[in-house]
Structure 1
C-alpha cells in the first residue's frame, strides 16, 4: 500500500493509518505525517524526549525535524504524540508545530494518542475532545481491512523481523559457496583482472536468477542464497545489484530474506539492498533498521553511511527522479 493511495476522512482515520505508514505501532514517539493535495506523502518518527529535557534541547530537536520535513514535497502536516500516562509529549509536538509554521508549512492537526484513544492537543471543547479521549477502534479495523496486512506491534518487533535466522542448511551451503569461489579463483587465468571479471559475470547471473525468482513469487534455495550472499561481498557484484534495485515490494522481500539467511559477516550488502529498496517504496522505518544491520556488519561501508545520511536528512525517494544538472 502506497502512502499516496490512502485517503482519510477524519482525525480517527488519521490515527488509525499511522502504523501502516510506519510499518509498526509507535510508542513514546513523535510522528509527522505530510500531505500534498490531501494525499499522504511522508511519514517520520522519533523518540519523545524525557519529560525533564531542557527547553533549549527540545527546541533544537524541533528545528531539525522541521528542516527535514521542509525538504519533502508536501503542503501540510499532521503531528502526533504517542504517549503513556506519565507524559503528554506536548512540549516537542508544540515546538515542532511552531518551527513548521515559521517555515510556512501549515499544521492541520496536533493529536495525542495513548493506547486506543486520542485527543487534540489544542481543543478545549469537551464535546469534541472528552477528557477520556475518543476511540478509533472502528477506523483501525477499516484501515486494516483496506490495507490487507498487519503491522508490527513495536519497532523492536520490526528489528526482529530482519534479525539473523540460524540454519544448518545455509551454514553448509555457504561453506560450499566459499569453496566454489576458491575453485573459480584456482582455474582462472593468473592476475586480478580475469578473476574479477569471472566474479562479476557469476554475480550478474546470480542476481538475475534472484530477481526473476522473487518477481514471480518464488524464493531461493539454500545453495542459491548462499552463492549470492558470497558474491555480493565483492564490490562489482554489489554495485550490479544496487543498479537494479527498484521500488518494488518483491525486491524488499528478496533482500529481506537474503539478509536474514546470510552469514553475519556477509550481511552488509544484502542489508544495503534492503535499505535502498525499502526507502524507495516509502518504508523508512524498515530502511533505517536495515542500515543499522549493514553498519553492524561493516562499519566502514561507504554506501551504508550514505544511506544513513539520506534517511537522517529526510531526503525523499523522489529525489532520484529529479533531473540532474548537466
Structure 2
C-alpha cells in the first residue's frame, strides 16, 4: 500500500531542557556505569565516550563506541579507525576506557603521556623495572588520533577486576599502584539508568539475541494475526477510506503504547498485539510511529520502545519488520548501538524495505541522533536534514 497522504505531525510542545553537562559525573562514575552506557558489561574492550560536536554543548555525551581489543601490533590502526568514526561529529573531547584483565606490564620506565614530562627514577639499580598499566601504547595511539582530530582527551582509564586506574595518574617513578574500587552504587549514571528501566544484558551476544527471538510465535497468535490482516484487506476491497483506516490503526498503536508505560505490568493480549502489528503495515501509521519514536518525552519513548520490543519478540516474521525497524531506531536514539544494528538487520531479513535500509545506513555511519530526530519529526526541514 502506498503512502497517499502526509502523516499528521505530533502536536508541538516545549522541549525539555537539556542538561548543561554530563561531566558533573567524574571518570570514576563513568567507569562504574559502562554496563549501563553500553547495555552490557564490556570485556576486553576499548570504549570511547565522545563529548560535544554538532550543536551539543562541549561536555555533553554525544557518541559511544566500543571495540574488541586486538593484539598490540594493531594499536595504531585500531586507534585510527575508531577515532575516524567520529570525524563527521567533530567532537570537543572524549573519555577513553580500556577494559582488560591483562596484568601490569613490567617496564624500565612508565612511558610518559603526551601531555606531561617524565620525572627521573632514582632507584633503577634497586628496582630495574616498575609495573605499568597494560595497553598504554593503545591509549597513546588513541590520544594522538584525537589530537589530530582537534579533540581533547578528558581522561584515559583502565577498568580491571572491579577497580579503575587513570593512565595519567600513574607515576612513572613508582608504577601502577593498587587502583580504586569501582562503586556503581554511588554513580549517578547507574542511578539514572535504573530509573529509566534500562535493561543490562550479561554480554554482547545477549543484546543481539533480544533482536532475534528464538521462541516461535504461538499458533493462537499467528491465527489472530492472519484474521486481522484479512479483515484489513476486506475493508480496503470494500472501499474503506485510507484516512479512516490510518486513524483507527494509530489509535490502536497509541493505546498499546500507553499500556506499556514505565511501571506497568500489563501484557498485550493476542487481539491487541495483532491489531497493532497489522496497523503498522500501513505506511502512514508506520511513519507516525517513526515520528513518535524520534520524540523527546522520556516516559513516552520508554513505553514505545517496550512496545516495539514486545511486538518484535512475539509477532510472526511477516509482521515483525516494522516493529524491528522501530526498535532499532529507538535503540540508536538512546545510544544502544549493538541492539540498534541487530534489530535493523532483523527488520531487513523479515522484509527488505528502503526505510530500514536507510536507517541502518545512518546508524552504521554514526549519524547523530538529533539529525535523525529532526528528519523524522519534520522531514521538510531541509536545514536540519
TM over 0.5: yes
Are the counterparts in 2 of residues 111 and 120 from structure 1 also a CA contact under 8 Å?
A: yes
5+ residue gaps, structure 2? 1-17, 105-133, 376-380
What is the deviation of 1:104? 0.9
Tell me the SS of whatever aligns to 1:166.
coil
Tell me the SS of whatever aligns to 2:85.
helix
Question: Which of 175, 184, 191 is the equivalent residue of 1:140?
Answer: 184
Partner residue in 2 for 1:20: 36
Q: 1:267 to 1:65 in 2, by over 3 A?
A: same
Are the counterparts in 2 of residues 271 and 294 from structure 1 also a CA contact under 8 Å?
A: yes
Question: Which of 302, 308, 331 is the equivalent residue of 1:255?
Answer: 308
Partner residue in 1 for 2:348: 295
Query: Whole-Å Cα distance in 1 between the matches of residues 258 and 284 of structure 2?
Result: 20
What is the deviation of 1:107? 0.6
1:212 paired with 2:258, answer yes
Query: Whole-Å Cα distance in 2 between the matches of residues 128 and 145 of structure 1?
Result: 36
Query: Whole-Å Cα distance in 2 between the matches of residues 146 and 197 of structure 1?
Result: 40
1:203 paired with 2:249, answer yes
- Larger helix percent: 1
Q: 1:156 to 1:188 in 2, by over 3 A?
A: closer
Partner residue in 1 for 2:101: 84
What is the deviation of 1:142? 1.1
Partner residue in 2 for 1:175: 223
1:305 paired with 2:349, answer no
Partner residue in 2 for 1:120: 166
Are the counterparts in 1 of residues 96 and 139 from structure 2 also a CA contact under 8 Å?
A: yes
1:62 paired with 2:76, answer no
Q: 1:301 to 1:96 in 2, by over 3 A?
A: farther
What is the deviation of 1:106? 0.5
Alignment root-mean-square deviation, CA: 3.5
Query: Whole-Å Cα distance in 1 between the matches of residues 245 and 333 of structure 2?
Result: 28
Query: Whole-Å Cα distance in 2 between the matches of residues 188 and 8 of structure 1?
Result: 56
Q: 1:73 to 1:254 in 2, by over 3 A?
A: farther
What is the deviation of 1:251? 1.4
1:228 paired with 2:228, answer no
Query: Whole-Å Cα distance in 2 between the matches of residues 95 and 35 of structure 1?
Result: 19
TM normalised by structure 1 equals 0.80
Q: 1:285 to 1:156 in 2, by over 3 A?
A: same
Query: Whole-Å Cα distance in 1 between the matches of residues 140 and 269 of structure 2?
Result: 51
What is the deviation of 1:295? 3.1
Question: Which of 326, 333, 336 is the equivalent residue of 1:283?
Answer: 336
TM normalised by structure 2 equals 0.69
Q: 1:197 to 1:145 in 2, by over 3 A?
A: closer
> Deviations along 1:45-85, whole A, 9 cap, x unmatched?
33234316546xx42x4334323334447422111111232
Tell me the SS of whatever aligns to 1:244.
helix
> Deviations along 1:193-232, whole A, 9 cap, x unmatched?
8586675455323223223333484542221112222332
Are the counterparts in 2 of residues 31 and 43 from structure 1 also a CA contact under 8 Å?
A: no
Query: Whole-Å Cα distance in 2 between the matches of residues 189 and 11 of structure 1?
Result: 61
